[in-house]
Amino acid sequence: MKRKWGSAFVVSMAAACLVSACGQGNNSGTDNAAGGASKEKVTIRFTWWGDPVRNKVYNGVISQFEKKYPNIDVKAEPTSWADYWTKLSTQIAGGNAPDVIGMHQFYVSDYAERGALLNLEPYVKSGVINLKDFPQAVTDSGKVNGSLDMIAQGVTMSGQIYNETLFKQLGVQPPTMNWTWDDFINEATAVKKAFIAKGEGKDHWGADDESGAMEPVFEYFLRERGKDLFTTDGKLGFTKQDLEDWFAMWAKLRKDGVVPDAATEAQYTGVAPEQTLFAKGKVGITAIPANQLYLYQTAMPDAKVRLVGEPRMKNGRNGEFVEGAYLAIPKSSQHPKEAAEFINFFINDVGAGKIFKLEQGSPGSTKIDSVIKPLLSPPQQSEMDFISNRLKLASTAPKPPKGYNQIAADFTNAAQAVAYGKVSISQGAQQFFEQVNSLLGQ
Amino acid sequence: MGGTTLKPLHEVQKRTDLAARRYVILRTMSLKARTRNGQSSMAGYLFLTPWLVGLLGLTALPMIASLYLSFTNYDMINRPRWIGIGNYVKMFQDPQYLMSVKVTLTYVLLNVPIHLVVALLIALLLHKGIRGLHIYRAVYYVPSLFGGSVAISLLWKQIFGGGGLVSNLLEHLFGLQNVNLIDSPQTALYTLIILAIWQFGSPMIIFLAGLQQIPVELHEAATIDGASTSKRFFRITLPLLTPFIFFNLVMQIISSFQAFTPAYIVSDGSGGPLNSTLFYTLYLYQTGFSNFQMGYASAMAWVLLIAIAIISAFLFATSKKWVFYSE
């Protein structure tokens, strides 16, 4: 026992020195007096994806944690979504990834299947991480091949938002919660026609072109047909015909000018919420994860933004599936226990919940859920109502195989090739299947 | 009184000190030769050490490592496994890779000649001896300083994108609607070539230096003999500039093959639209860092290195035929 503490001391000392620059031991005396579990100060690094607004929220949670655990310093290393995954893969390769990393269900396989993530089950068993208030489905959504590799920070569902103010101005009947693809086409077409009547048809459209969005919109489309993007053994779960039908639907809308031309859509893909066509009032409908509703509402102070489900198929199945953001610990972490303590605090502490609220969707813990409910702003409340409403219809979708990034890029490329008119619909579908099959066949 | 006695002592001390240091240095490096030559080259190496450590640690070692990795299936997380020349074979069956080669060659073939011609023309203009030459020189050099930066790439995206400056100009002048040069696969690459050409500053400065070295007498003599301006340019200026053209050509070709930042920023790292700006280095980066195929990416890096080496060697070989050194 003594020996163990001795080595723990040496390791944490060395790491603390390496990470936090030795000269800064200014407040270690007072911290010792406060008396944490372990006497030496440990620094853990934490990375997540986010913009400055989101970073403020995360930093708030971190400072709460540091108050409660004076012996643990958390070094924040946020990165924008665009650079997050390349930076993380490099850090993992170098063995210097942060101790706690933001994880995503689409990307987790790339790390988990290559054995880069720590199985968190032992920490749950020993009680460091408490998942008692987590519904089983939410816990399970963090498992990869049966190993609990990540813990949900928040659960979200996809939907379509529409600009209610704009719909009123244009005199178009707004969409309903359980609308169908036919409704979607009719609504978007009506918005476009109203824009044309106002003389704004040139650079205003009904809806965004989602043909390149393999996740989540195409996944919904497939699930409604009783299929999935991927099978549980990591193959494509749909046929070329499915993809051709998908491309054909959007091609018609594009031809009619209901969705923007390929170049305009490309220009506004991947920009911040306030710079989107939707926020600029140039399209009436767009797809978002529900937890981003308040970002759009904040970016559009003069408009009322509302959320409805992803369009459904008439007499089809439920497309809904659980999405979310997660926390994980890489195997390279020198302080897995402290990292696990941090994750536990993040998901269970009431103070943390009150700060974090719905940043990444509804909290995994039902207890935190009920604590924060009264504290939410109106857009956040409708976010939460939407998520709990859709969760009832949802199941988990099979996780993508490794190489997800490339598959998603190939999908977008095929959709764009069709949108730019470079290839026919069947050629585009053919191209995607060839690329992915050669990738997965390796 | 004290000063006069101390001074020689001081000098003696200094001398012995230096000798001692030199001795220690020589011993530790176990250098046998005691000639003046040997000593000074040793000191040279010592001064080189900081740079040498950088070269070996940050360039040579990673290069050797990447050569090894290029024969493996290294995925950045698991240990690399030897797969022989598999990566090199795969390259030529990979349509994305071939696309990136095509994009890069187009870029090099258009950028390098236009770049050099523009730089030379501006240098000729500035060489005319305009008032405030140094100001113009500085002004024209400025784009080269930050042309390759992220900020300028973002600016480019605004200028050439839909609703940007160029789009509005085309609409007002020619009535063309919704022109979006950045996000159209036919034109995206050309906006990047324009961006590169705009950074003509550094070859321009080199050409300017070259022009100033050409003896005025030659031009005067030719003028007296009745040679026209164009004749003087092609018979005197251009031949005497060939060493500078050669240098600029080699440098431009190398840097064009390695272009990365503008494409990365303008296309958000995707090489889009439709891979039309998928530069070689960008695809290499995606392969290694997004798709976890570091072994394959290393192989691509080596093919690029060898390609540039061959092209440079070819240029050097032909240079004897067309580069004239006046002295």
Please name the member of B177, B185, B270 whose beta carbon is closest to the beta carbon of A409. B270
> CB B273 to CB A416 under 8 A?
yes
- Taking the Cβ of residue A110 and every Cβ of chain B, the question of whether any pair is shorter than 8 Å is answered with yes
Both tokens assigned to A104 = 């995503």
Count of residues making up chain B: 327
**Which pLDDT does position A4 carry in this prediction?**
43
> CB A116 to CB B77 under 8 A?
yes
Domain B90-322 in CATH 1.10.3720.10? The answer is: yes
A38: pLDDT strictly greater than 60: no
Report the residue of A91, A96, A276, A416 to disrupt the B interface, i.e. the one with the largest count of B CBs within 10 Å: A416
A35: pLDDT strictly greater than 50: no
Which neighbouring-strand residues pair with A73?
A43
A1: pLDDT strictly greater than 50: no
Q: Among A31-35, A97-101, B47-51, B148-152, whose mean pLDDT is lowest?
A: A31-35
pLDDT by residue (tens digit) across A198-248?
888 888 999 999 999 998 999 999 999 999 999 888 889 999 999 999 999
How far is the C-alpha of B302 from the C-alpha of B307, rounded, in Å? 8
Please name the member of B75, B274, B292 whose beta carbon is closest to the beta carbon of A417. B274
> CB A93 to CB B76 under 8 A?
yes
Please name the member of B274, B290, B294 whose beta carbon is closest to the beta carbon of A85. B290
Residues of A with Cβ-Cβ distance to B291 under 8 angstroms: 403, 405-406
Q: A72-76 and A42-47 as β-strands: parallel, antiparallel, unpaired?
A: parallel
How far is the C-alpha of A420 from the C-alpha of A424, rounded, in Å? 10
Which residue does chain A place closest to B269, by CA atoms? Answer: A82
Q: Which amino acid is at A145?
A: N
A122: pLDDT strictly greater than 60: yes
pLDDT band at A39 (very low <50, low <70, confident <90, very high): low
Q: Where are the domains of chain B?
A: 2-69, 90-322
**Which pLDDT does position B314 carry in this prediction?**
94
Report the residue of B274, B277, B285 to disrupt the A interface, i.e. the one with the largest count of A CBs within 10 Å: B274
> CB B185 to CB A203 under 8 A?
no
- Do domains A2-155+323-388 and A158-319+403-440 share one topology? The answer is yes
Average pLDDT over residues A360-383: 88
> CB B274 to CB A422 under 8 A?
yes
**Which pLDDT does position B306 carry in this prediction?**
95
Q: How far is A264 from chain B (nearest CA, A)?
A: 7
Cα radius of gyration (chain B): 27
Q: Among A20-34, A207-221, A403-417, whose mean pLDDT is lowest?
A: A20-34
> CB A420 to CB B273 under 8 A?
yes
**Which pLDDT does position A48 carry in this prediction?**
94
pLDDT band at A377 (very low <50, low <70, confident <90, very high): confident
Residue with tokens 């605004």: B158
Residues of chain B with pLDDT under 50: 1-7, 9, 12, 30-31, 33-35
A18: pLDDT strictly greater than 70: no
Question: What phi-psi label fits residue B30: left (phi over 0), alpha (psi between -120 and 50 degrees) or beta?
Answer: left
Residues of A with Cβ-Cβ distance to B95 under 8 angstroms: 435
Residues of B with Cβ-Cβ distance to A422 under 8 angstroms: 185, 274
**Domain A2-155+323-388 architecture:** 3-Layer(aba) Sandwich (3.40)
pLDDT band at A141 (very low <50, low <70, confident <90, very high): confident
Which residue does chain B place closest to A203, by CA atoms? Answer: B178
What is the CATH T-level fold of the domain A158-319+403-440, as seen in this structure? D-Maltodextrin-Binding Protein; domain 2 (3.40.190)
Report the residue of A83, A87, A407, A420 to disrupt the B interface, i.e. the one with the largest count of B CBs within 10 Å: A420
Q: How far is B238 from chain A (nearest CA, A)?
A: 44
CB < 8 Å & 24+ apart, contacts of A21-28: none
- Residue pair A57/A356 in contact (Cβ under 8 Å)? The answer is yes
> CB B268 to CB A270 under 8 A?
yes
Residues of B with Cβ-Cβ distance to A115 under 8 angstroms: 77-78
A16: pLDDT strictly greater than 50: no
Phi, psi of B67 (to 5 degrees): -60, -45
Q: Where are the domains of chain A?
A: 2-155+323-388, 158-319+403-440
Q: How far is B108 from chain A (nearest CA, A)?
A: 24
What b/e sequence results for B133-156 when a residue is b if at least 16 CB atoms lie within 10 Å of its CB, and e otherwise? Answer: eeeebeebbebbeebbeeebbebb
How far is the C-alpha of A91 from the C-alpha of A79, rounded, in Å? 13
> CB A270 to CB B290 under 8 A?
no
Between residues A410 and B140, the one the model is more confident about: A410
A418: pLDDT strictly greater than 60: yes
**Which pLDDT does position B18 carry in this prediction?**
59
Please name the member of B184, B269, B290 whose beta carbon is closest to the beta carbon of A263. B184
> CB A92 to CB B162 under 8 A?
no
**Which pLDDT does position A274 carry in this prediction?**
86
**Which pLDDT does position A398 carry in this prediction?**
85
Between residues A157 and B133, the one the model is more confident about: A157
Residues of B with Cβ-Cβ distance to A263 under 8 angstroms: 162, 178, 180, 183-184, 273
Which neighbouring-strand residues pair with A324?
A155
Q: Among A32-36, A147-151, B64-68, whose mean pLDDT is lowest?
A: A32-36
**Which pLDDT does position B27 carry in this prediction?**
56
Residues of A with Cβ-Cβ distance to B168 under 8 angstroms: none
Helix axes B150-160, B133-146, angle to 10 degrees: 90
> What is the rounded (10 degree) CA torsion for B271, B277, B279, B284?
10
pLDDT band at A329 (very low <50, low <70, confident <90, very high): very high
ipTM: 0.80
Q: How far is B255 from chain A (nearest CA, A)?
A: 24
pLDDT band at A378 (very low <50, low <70, confident <90, very high): confident
